[in-house]
């Protein structure tokens, strides 16, 4: 009887698997991570892994391993050979990672970035029936140059993937120089994009849909966060009791910032919930917390971070939009003209953002330091910012699409659902 040792993945390997999963499915990341870690073990370095080795090492099924190897082979991330294991019959196939960890990650991000550009074109065509052809950008490779990005607000932790990428050289490694320009809201960021002042904008998904409805030729490249972060919140003192459900809003005053992504999503939430006609909307003009504390509104909109800014002794109740309507959150968008004229730069940009997202998931404190160089308040409040970034990533950054394909993946059906909901509520066609 013969026995063979076989390494297996352990919990301490999770950080590497999380980095790899940004650019591919979780199952493929697990197989690729196993091959990389196996190669780094002196006992197994140079010894390719058979399908059985991989199944034992990853705990995955035969079909899952086969699918993962096919994906990794198609993307040029693994090499295969045959091995002689002192047995009769045909030598089994075996696999190794093609490169070391850093080079593998860089190649993974570059190929995933190209897939995201193709996906953005396909989503645009399937959702809004454009004349763009995904085949026209197929195989686009990272290209250097200068690229300006319009932010939907002053730099903050929700922009961490972009700002961290600049800090760690994610763009410079691809000969791309990226500048960031902050704007007062998603609408102004889109205006700058359409005027050609920036090549990419960060904006709310609902605002992007509203702009498309008015004829803007936008292309969604990747949701930075898979779910919108808008909430309705109040305190027990102001509300006069608990806010348990959206039905409790009937007859109340709800503060919304008109003309903003948050206000648009707040109205959509109230409309879809069937209570919009039974309450009073108060325009709080971007001063939601002040309106609540002054008693000008019973409930106000905000991001998931805002309720935490209330005094610690307040009893706060929160309704999270994403718990009821799973809509995309802040999204990277570009124009059809940019896709056709600058595909290589867009791929380089997306690959760089993936490098920044790697920092976000593995070292949020470092990502926060990158944000602090541009954010109002500088390096202060670092602990709170890191906590906010972790919560945003964990609560609003995950989805089945991400698990199956990697960071930033999105589906035409979800964009169509958002478009339909906004139309039914009469919220598209004007400024969002």
Give the CATH number of the domain where residue 311 resides: 3.40.190.10
Instruction: Say how far apart CA 68 and CA 313 lie, in whole Å.
Output: 51
Same structural domain for residues 114 and 223? yes
Same structural domain for residues 111 and 191? yes
Same structural domain for residues 45 and 172? no
In a domain? residue 5: no
Same structural domain for residues 30 and 84? yes
Same structural domain for residues 119 and 220? yes
Predicted pLDDT of residue 1: 43
Last residue of a domain, one of 298, 323, 348: 323
Predicted pLDDT of residue 360: 97
**DSSP-derived 3-state class of residue 201:** strand
Burial class (CB in 10 A: 0-12, 13-18, 19+), 352: buried
Q: Do 117 and 343 meet the contact criterion of CB atoms below 8 Å apart?
A: yes
Last residue of a domain, one of 292, 323, 354: 323
Instruction: Say how far apart CA 16 and CA 159 lie, in whole Å.
Output: 23
In a domain? residue 203: yes
- Report, as ranges of residue numbers, the positions in the chain whose pLDDT lies below 50: 1, 378-379, 430-432
Same structural domain for residues 71 and 36? yes
How is residue 323 annotated by DSSP? G
Same structural domain for residues 69 and 198? no
How many CA atoms are closer than 13 Å to the CA of 162, on its beta-carbon side?
Answer: 29
Q: Do 22 and 104 meet the contact criterion of CB atoms below 8 Å apart?
A: no
Same structural domain for residues 374 and 386? yes
In a domain? residue 6: no
E strand spans, 236-339:
253-256, 280-283, 299-303, 316-320, 331-335
Domain count, the chain: 3
> What is the chain's length?
432
- Its pTM stands at 0.94
In a domain? residue 430: no
**Strand 218-223 vs strand 230-235: parallel, antiparallel, or unpaired?**
unpaired
Same structural domain for residues 284 and 319? yes
CA nearest to 326, candidates 398, 235, 251, 377: 398
In a domain? residue 292: yes
Residue 319 structural domain: 230-323
Same structural domain for residues 156 and 301? no
In a domain? residue 179: yes
> How far from chain centre, in Å, is Cα 290?
30
Same structural domain for residues 219 and 342? yes
CA nearest to 219, candidates 136, 144, 95: 136
Last residue of a domain, one of 42, 74, 98: 98
């Amino acid at each position: 009887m013969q026995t063979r040792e076989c390494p297996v993945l352990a919990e301490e390997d999770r950080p590497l698997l999380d980095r790899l999963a940004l650019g591919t499915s979780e199952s493929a990341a697990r197989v690729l991570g196993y091959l990389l870690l196996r190669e780094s073990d002196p006992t197994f370095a140079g010894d390719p892994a058979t399908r059985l080795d991989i199944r034992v090492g990853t705990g995955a099924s035969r079909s899952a391993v086969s699918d993962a190897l096919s994906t990794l082979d198609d993307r040029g991330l693994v090499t295969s050979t045959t091995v002689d294991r002192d047995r009769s019959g045909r030598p089994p196939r075996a696999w190794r990672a093609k490169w070391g960890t850093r080079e593998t990650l860089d190649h993974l991000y570059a190929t995933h970035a190209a897939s995201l550009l193709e996906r953005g074109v396909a989503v645009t065509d399937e959702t809004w029936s454009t004349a763009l052809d995904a085949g026209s950008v197929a195989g686009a490779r990272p290209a250097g140059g200068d690229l300006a990005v319009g932010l939907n607000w002053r730099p903050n932790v929700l922009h961490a993937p972009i700002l961290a990428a600049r800090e760690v050289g994610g763009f410079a490694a691809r000969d791309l120089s990226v500048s960031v320009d902050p704007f007062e809201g998603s609408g102004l960021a889109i205006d700058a994009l359409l005027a050609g002042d920036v090549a990419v904008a960060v904006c709310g998904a609902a605002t992007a849909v509203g702009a498309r409805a008015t004829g803007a030729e936008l292309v969604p490249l990747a949701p930075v966060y898979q779910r919108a972060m808008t909430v309705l919140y109040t305190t027990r003192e102001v509300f006069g009791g608990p806010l348990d459900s959206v039905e409790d809003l009937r007859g109340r005053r709800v503060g919304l910032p008109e003309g903003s992504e948050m206000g648009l999503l707040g109205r959509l939430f109230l409309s879809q919930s069937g209570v919009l006609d039974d309450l009073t909307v108060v325009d709080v003009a971007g001063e939601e917390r002040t309106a609540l504390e002054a008693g000008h509104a019973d409930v106000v909109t905000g991001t998931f971070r805002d309720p935490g800014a209330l005094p610690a002794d307040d009893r706060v109740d929160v309704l999270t939009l994403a718990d009821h309507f799973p809509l995309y959150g802040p999204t990277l968008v570009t124009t059809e003209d940019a896709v056709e004229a600058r595909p290589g730069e867009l791929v380089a940009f997306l690959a760089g953002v993936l490098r920044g997202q790697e920092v976000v998931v593995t070292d949020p404190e470092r990502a926060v330091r990158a944000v602090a160089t541009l954010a109002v308040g500088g390096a202060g409040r670092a602990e709170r910012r890191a906590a906010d970034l972790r919560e945003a990533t964990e609560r609003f950054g995950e989805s089945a699409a991400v698990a199956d394909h990697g960071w930033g993946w999105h589906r035409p059906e979800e964009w169509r659902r958002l478009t339909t909901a906004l139309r039914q509520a009469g919220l598209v066609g004007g400024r969002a």
